[in-house]
Amino acid sequence: MIYFDNAATTYPKPNQVIGSMTRAMQIYGANPGRAGHKLSMETAKALFLSRQKCADFFHADPENTCFTLNCTHALNYAIKGISHKYCHIITSDIEHNAVIRPVHALTKNSSCTYSLFSVSKNDDETLRNIERLITPRTCAVVCTAASNVTGQLLPYKRIGELCRRRNLCFILDTAQACGLVPITLDDNINIICAAGHKGLYGPMGTGIMITDGKYPLGTLIEGGTGSASSDIEQPSFLPDRFESGTINTPGAIALGAGVEFVVKKGIDKIYEHEMKLCETFRERLEGNRKIILYDDKIGENRVPVVSFNIEGMNSSDGAALLSSNGFYLRGGLHCAFLAHKKLGTIETGTIRFAPAVFNTTAEIYEFTNFLNKLSKK
Which among 184-192, 231-239, 250-258, 335-343 is the span making contact with other proteins, rule CB under 8 A? 231-239
Q: How far is CA 279 from CA 16, 147, 236, 273, 283, in A?
A: 29, 18, 48, 10, 6
Q: Of 222, 235, 217, 212, whose CA–CA distance to 81 is shortest?
A: 217
Pairing of strands 88-92, 113-117: parallel
CA pair distance 47, 67, nearest whole angstrom: 10
Which range in 18-26, 45-53, 116-124, 161-169 contacts other proteins by CB under 8 A? 45-53
Question: Do residues 208 and 196 lie in contact, with contact meaning Cβ atoms separated by under 8 Å?
Answer: yes
* Nearest CB to other proteins, comparing residues 40 and 129: 40
Residue choice 18, 39, 41, 374 for contact with other proteins (CB under 8 A): 41
Quick one: 49 or 320, whose CB is closer to other proteins? 49
Q: Tally the C-alpha atoms within 13 A of residue 309's C-alpha that lie toward its C-beta.
A: 21
Residue type, 118: S
Q: How many residues bind other proteins (CB under 8 A)?
A: 25
- Give the residue with the Cβ less far from other proteins, 49 or 263: 49
Q: With binding defined as CB under 8 A, does residue 207 bind other proteins?
A: no
Q: Which residues of 11-42 are buried (b: 16+ CB within 10 A; e: fewer)?
A: eebbebbeebbeebeeebebebbeeeeeebee
**Contact flag: residue 227 with other proteins (CB under 8 A):** yes
Stretch that binds other proteins, among 41-49, 100-108, 143-151, 275-283 (CB under 8 A): 41-49
- Give 53 or 334: the residue with its C-beta nearer to other proteins: 53
E strand or H helix that includes residue 195: strand 191-195
Contact with other proteins (CB under 8 A) among 18, 39, 59, 62: 62
240 interacts with other proteins by CB under 8 A: yes
Torsion of CA 35, 36, 41, 43, to 10 degrees: -20
For the segment 250-289, give every residue that binds other proteins (CB under 8 A): none
Contact segment (CB under 8 A) with other proteins among 37-45, 93-101, 138-146, 185-193 equals: 37-45
**Nearest 5 degrees, angle CA 32-CA 49-CA 29?**
35
One residue of 22, 29, 45, 216 binding other proteins per CB under 8 A: 45
Q: Considering the complex, state which of residue 52 and residue 115 has its C-beta at the smaller distance from other proteins.
A: 52
We find the least distance from the C-beta atom of residue 41 to other proteins, in angstroms, to be 6
Minimum distance from residue 235 beta carbon to other proteins (Å): 7
- Is residue 53 involved in binding other proteins (CB under 8 A)? no
Q: Kindly tell me which residue out of 13, 51, 197, 198 binds other proteins, with binding defined by CB under 8 A.
A: 51
State yes or no: residue 36 binds other proteins (CB under 8 A). Answer: yes
The CB-of-4 to other proteins minimum distance in angstroms stands at 38
Q: Mind spelling out the 3-state secondary structure of 256-288?
A: HHHHHHHHHHCHHHHHHHHHHHHHHHHHHHCCC
Candidate residues 14, 81, 102, 235; the one interacting with other proteins per rule CB under 8 A: 235
Count of CB atoms situated within 10 Å of the CB of 246: 13
Q: Is 51 helix (H, G, I), strand (E, B) or coil?
A: helix
Sequence-ordered alpha helix ranges (H) in 133-292: 156-165, 249-265, 267-285
| Residues facing 253 on adjacent strands | none
Q: Is 214 in the site for other proteins (CB under 8 A)?
A: no
Residues in contact with other proteins by the rule CB under 8 A = 32-33, 35-36, 40-41, 44-45, 48, 51-52, 61-63, 225-231, 235, 237, 239-240
